[in-house]
Structure 1
Amino acid sequence: MPAPLQTIRRPLLVLSAALSSLALTAPVALAAPSPTPTPTATPSSSASSSAGSSATPAATPPANMSSVGGTRLGQAGTQVNLTSGVPVLPKDVTARSWIVSDAESGAVLASHNAHWRLPPASTLKMLFADTVLPKFPKTTEHKVVASDLAGMGTGSSLVGIKEGESYTVHDLWLGVFLRSGNDAVHVLSHMNGGVAKTVSDMNAHAQDLQALDTRVVTPDGYDEPGQVSSAYDLTLFARSGLQKKDFREYCSTVSAKFPGETTKKKGKSVRGTFDIQNTNRLLSGDSDVSVYPGIAGVKNGNTTNAGATFTGVAERNGKVLLVTVMNPEKAEHNEVYKEAAKILDWGFQADGKVQPVGELVAPKNVPQASAQPGATATGEAGGDTSTKPSAGGSASASAAEEDSSSGVGIALAVTGGLLVLLAAGVFLVNRRWPLPDLVRRRRP
């Protein structure tokens, strides 16, 4: 049985991104250019090297960066259209790279070195989850053997998985998202056919998402030579992952019980549990960081070469924004969360007023949307039907939830407890694919 979990206890409505989450069986034809240096060791062997073995990224962005999503996103420095009525950006943001975008429309409101290829740390686990999560039912159990835990980098973050114990897939994903457990990542990778296969799957999926700045060397995000991503790509991973109901559940969970070791008591085997808490401080809070209003995930990270990295999604007054912040230069405690909160605050003030500087692209496999208001989408099991108005009228459809390969995503809202479908409807607002509709978590 899945471990009990505690979710956020406050009103929260999050519409996840509007694109398809597609399982890949082969790499697409257009590959990202390989970064320098290119790793020479296999992921399984190189993963045991120390964090200091990765080359430290350059202090300034390259002159030529990717222009996926728009020409301005490939330019160095801050990109924003500060016309009349648009609030001024916060002046104390020190991140090497950041981006804030409308999760629903895909409009990039502002960015700073959005395509700079930098070490991603554990934010890369969003791509890992988006790639591997659909492959195993959450009730599947796996007994851990020594080889499952081999090859982790020195000093890896761990949830506390023990050889010889059995864990459900649900347990393992809680370990990935809440504790950023590299041990949970490696167990799931071995279930998926091994670390090398998982890395290959992740690289293929990144290509499909048009995340062309990304090169995966190890699935857990641990520092490795040649392993890079960008604020733009990390946002694409979050946007794709949020199409999946289980992904939304795990990334929004604040705390949970995790299985411990089996012990003998009075001749009987007893399996204990211990508490784990999400290390995303905008979700769980900390002494110097408050829980961000409307936050619902997604993933944080921190390594020697990457510094602190973070991608988050939040809702306010019906607007849903994604933010990614990479490696603040300011060395204060929890600085990445503080800067992310400031950028989100600006985004909510500017959304609807500022002209976008680019867009979040759709996956290559998603065709131009031809649906019109009133089109019907495939329903999620247990979903209700309802109507939601769009720019051209109203649309009625069954609630759409992704299976493991394709379809229209559904958005998230959290007030704690179990997922309950409130409303559904697929409609278009000058986008290339249908938008999702609403799901709410209510208190039991």
Structure 2
Amino acid sequence: MGKFKGTVLSLMAFLLVFSSVFATSETAEAGFNPGVETVILVDADSGKILLDKNIDQALPPASMTKMMSEYLILEAINNGEISWDQEVPISDLNAALSHQGGLSNVMLRTDEKYTVKELYESVAIYSANAATMALAEMISGSEGAFVERMNERAKEIGMGEPMREAGSGDLESLFEQGIGDFQFVNSTGLPNSLLGDNYPEGTEPDDDNYMSARAAATLAFHLINNYPEVLETASIPEKLFKEGTTDEIRMQNWNWMIPGTMYGDLDYEYIDGLKTGFTNSAGYTFTGTAEKDGKRLVSVVMGADSEAHRFQETQRLMEWGFNHFSQTELFPAGMSIEEDETVQVAKGKESEVAVSTEDALSMMIRNNQEDAYSYEVEWDESLLNEDGKLTAPIEAGEVVGKLHVVSDEDDAGFIDGNDQSSVNIVTDEAVEKAGWFSLLFRSIAGFFSGVWTSVADTVTGWF
């Protein structure tokens, strides 16, 4: 008997260790350990943050700045301010800058003709600096005015607080103190020091551009949702600029994850944007977006130690997101609210009205984690009387409250503060106001009911 008992205990111990190993393995697989200091992963449909690490420190993002320039170029196209076939004037400054060695450029000349489309393609594919400045000047009259527009639009789309509004002092000291979320000082992402005396008005000669990973992801999120055509150009692996001329240049996409670039070992078939960058402070950076099986994600990687590393980390991050998150319907449309299936009605032909969710509520969540989500109800207090009742007449489909998702998960929220985790609660049918006679009768009945209750309470007290 003792030997049998010892065998059973040994078997139980083995099974405990065995199950523990597999549980640990499953947990490790479900988690993600970033290989860089700063990383964020976002659902491109809702803006829900799926993973974040050190995302609020503003850093110099270099050419990732051009995402905002592209945003404003596409905005100007869509608003009719400029057109694709419109000619872009080239200043002496931009022509000279385009021939400056060590900077990404296509060759520009003051006596040559360039269309908006040509220069935009050079910006989106090849990160051409002088071309970016020429487009900025064309749209706003000067690069300084364009920079003002960049900062204004950044605030409007929820990128956070500009560093110069968050604190006082030079940008470098604000950066060292971790103050603010972004600051644009030129259209290209180059440090102003590389522009000599030709830095944009309203900025300082030693200024640099800054964006936190959260701000960069917010910008990318709005760029691809407001102007999805950006991906048509951002996904081009290479293109000839001024083909057949002495200025011909093969524009190889700096995003080496795009299939068809010269770095085939970094290809990732699902990627189609967006922008790379490098500075000593931020390391090798990359804002990427990819779509797989109907799911689109946006990622920002900062602090990679090589060009290849930023792409390898991006692919690892994207695959983790695609494999472990799914768009899931948490609560259906027309769902009755448990314990609040109806709301009391005052002065109506009916004394209550049924309510339900107006739309289905779906979110990108970890696979098989539906049980971690519940809800809370918030009624519109402005519609309720002092007794907590709606007052007739009431229309069918009238919004009377909100259903808010509550999660046991470590939820980082949404990228621009625009919470997508709620849905309207609406009335299922109309309730007409009762006639004057019915209201009078109810009032009389209520009076005598109150009197009877008072008398009954008094008599009960006697005994």
Q: TM-score when scaled to structure 2?
A: 0.54
- Higher relative contact order structure (alpha carbons within 8 Å, sequence separation ≥ 6): 1
More helix by share: 2
3-state SS of 1:360 partner: coil
3-state SS of 1:199 partner: helix
Q: Does 1:205 align with 2:188?
A: no
Aligned residue among 93, 102, 107 for 2:43: 102
Q: Does 1:218 align with 2:186?
A: yes
Aligned residue among 112, 135, 141 for 1:188: 135
CA distance in 2, matches of 1:150, 1:133: 26
Matches within 5 A, 1:40-439: 87-91=29-33, 93-135=34-76, 136-149=82-95, 155-192=102-139, 193-212=141-160, 213-224=181-192, 225-242=207-224, 243-259=226-242, 273-284=248-259, 285-287=261-263, 289-328=265-304, 331-352=305-326, 353-354=365-366, 355=409, 356-361=411-416
Q: 1:305 to 1:181 in 2, by over 3 A?
A: farther
User: Percent identity between the aligned chains?
Assistant: 27
Q: Which has the larger radius of gyration?
A: 2
CA distance in 2, matches of 1:273, 1:227: 30
3-state SS of 1:279 partner: coil
CA shift for structure 1 position 149: 4.2
Conservation of the 8 A alpha-carbon contact between 2:270 and 2:292: yes
Q: CA RMSD in A?
A: 3.2
Q: 1:362 to 1:296 in 2, by over 3 A?
A: farther
Conservation of the 8 A alpha-carbon contact between 2:288 and 2:298: yes
Letter in 2 for 1:337: F
After superposition, give the CA deviation of every residue in 1:102-135 in whole Å (9 maximum; x if it has no partner).
1112111111111111111111110111123322
CA distance in 2, matches of 1:145, 1:261: 23
3-state SS of 1:187 partner: helix
Which residue in 2 is equivalent to 1:4?
A: none
Letter in 2 for 1:234: A
Letter in 2 for 1:227: N
CA distance in 2, matches of 1:229, 1:259: 33
CA shift for structure 1 position 288: 6.9
CA distance in 2, matches of 1:159, 1:369: 49
After superposition, give the CA deviation of every residue in 1:359-378 in whole Å (9 maximum; x if it has no partner).
122679x9x998x9xxxxxx
Count of aligned positions:
278
CA shift for structure 1 position 154: 7.6
Letter in 1 for 2:301: V
CA distance in 1, matches of 2:288, 2:310: 11
Which residue in 1 is equivalent to 2:436?
A: none
3-state SS of 1:159 partner: coil
3-state SS of 2:241 partner: strand
CA distance in 2, matches of 1:262, 1:290: 32
3-state SS of 1:139 partner: coil
Conservation of the 8 A alpha-carbon contact between 1:122 and 1:220: yes
The gaps in structure 2 that reach 5 residues or longer are: 1-23, 77-81, 161-180, 193-206, 327-364, 367-408, 427-463
The gaps in structure 1 that reach 5 residues or longer are: 1-81, 264-271, 373-444
**After the TM superposition, which parts of structure 1 deviate over 6 Å for at least 4 consecutive aligned residues?**
82-86, 150-154
Which residue in 1 is equivalent to 2:346?
A: none
CA shift for structure 1 position 246: 3.6
3-state SS of 1:142 partner: coil
Q: 1:184 to 1:306 in 2, by over 3 A?
A: farther
Q: TM-score when scaled to structure 1?
A: 0.56
Letter in 1 for 2:191: D
